[in-house]
Amino acid sequence: MVDYDGRLSRVYAAGRGMTGDEVRRWTAAFAEYLPAGRPLAILDLGSGTGRLTPGLADAFGGPAYGVEPSDRMRVIAEETAAHPAVTYLRGAAEEIPLPEASVDGVLMFLSFHHFRDQPRALREVRRVLKPGGVALLRSQFADLMPDLFWYDYFPSARVVDAGMYLTVEEVRRLAEAAGLSAADEPVWVDTEQARTFSEVHERLKLRALSTFEHLPAAELEDGFRRLAADAERDPDKVMPLHPAAMLVLSRPR
């Protein structure tokens, strides 16, 4: 399990923050799959520091709920991502602190792979969704891993990352067993902002990605030394962007 109450909470905003444009591109992508009416009540499940939660309230009219088990991450959200239509709640996906059929949409943004009981979490997602409601599962999938440039610096990172995720078919099966309908394939979303090698290095070296929690110290040291040297040689190089995978689930009417 990854501990979000310690170091990760302190570096998350600087290492993984999104620009306002990135948040708006994400909410525009969510809008394509969420129900049509407005306002929509949205649950951000595993909301972390509230990177997206206020954007959900702005885009869909509120209320938005951020449910997050890490006290530290949730306090940062309350302090830095407050919004009149957002309520941050202590809780976890396996026991969502919301009533049955209370939200139109659920967002699981890079949180699903951290849930310790995914079948139970998906049953909870179905419970809190209104009939016809939609859950958006933004994740990596073991069979669709992106070829990230920085994997070349950390020999075991690719395998460690792929090991954290299920395949699309495994997630679909879990969702359907929980009473949710699942799309056949994820949709691909382009939201990432182009960043230079220097900017990407500044973010990566904060080790705000949970992958780095699983790598040996010697590998981290060597990889970050080589990464720093290359970033210094070519600081303005614009780094490749990767479309993000998102699986659309829904509660049947």
Ligand X SMILES: C[S@@+](CC[C@H](N)C(=O)[O-])C[C@H]1O[C@@H](n2cnc3c(N)ncnc32)[C@H](O)[C@@H]1O
> Among 88, 115, 212, 224, which residue sits at the site for ligand X (rule: CB under 6 A)?
115
Minimum distance, C-beta of residue 229 to ligand X, in the bound complex (Å) = 28
The residues, any chain, with a CB within 8 Å of residue 141's CB and separated by 6 or more, are 165, 166, 167, 168, 171, 186, 245, 247
Per-residue contact flags (x/-) with ligand X for residues 73 to 112, judged by CB under 6 A:
x------------------xxx--------------xxx-
The alpha carbon of residue 172 and the mean position of all alpha carbons in its chain are separated, in whole angstroms, by 18
The minimum distance between CB 212 and ligand X, in angstroms, equals 12
Stretch that binds ligand X, among 46-54, 139-147, 164-172, 219-227 (CB under 6 A): 46-54
Nearer to ligand X, 25 or 51 (CB): 51
**Nearest-CB residue for ligand X:** 48
CA distances from 243 to 48, 94, 186, 192 (A): 22, 29, 11, 8
Nearer to ligand X (CB atom), residue 135 or residue 231: 135
Q: Does 70 bind ligand X (CB under 6 A)?
A: yes
With vertex at residue 235, the alpha carbon angle to CA 231 and CA 241, rounded to the nearest 5 degrees, is 85
Question: CA 173, CA 177: separation in Å to the nearest integer?
Answer: 6
Residue 66 in contact with residue 87, Cβ under 8 Å? yes
Q: Name the minimum Å distance from CB 100 to ligand X.
A: 18
Q: What span, in angstroms and rounded, lies between the C-alpha atoms of 16 and 111?
A: 14
Residue 42 contacts ligand X per CB under 6 A:
no
Neighbouring-strand partners of residue 44: 66, 107
Residues that bind ligand X (CB under 6 A): 4, 45-48, 51-52, 68-70, 73, 92-94, 109-111, 114-116
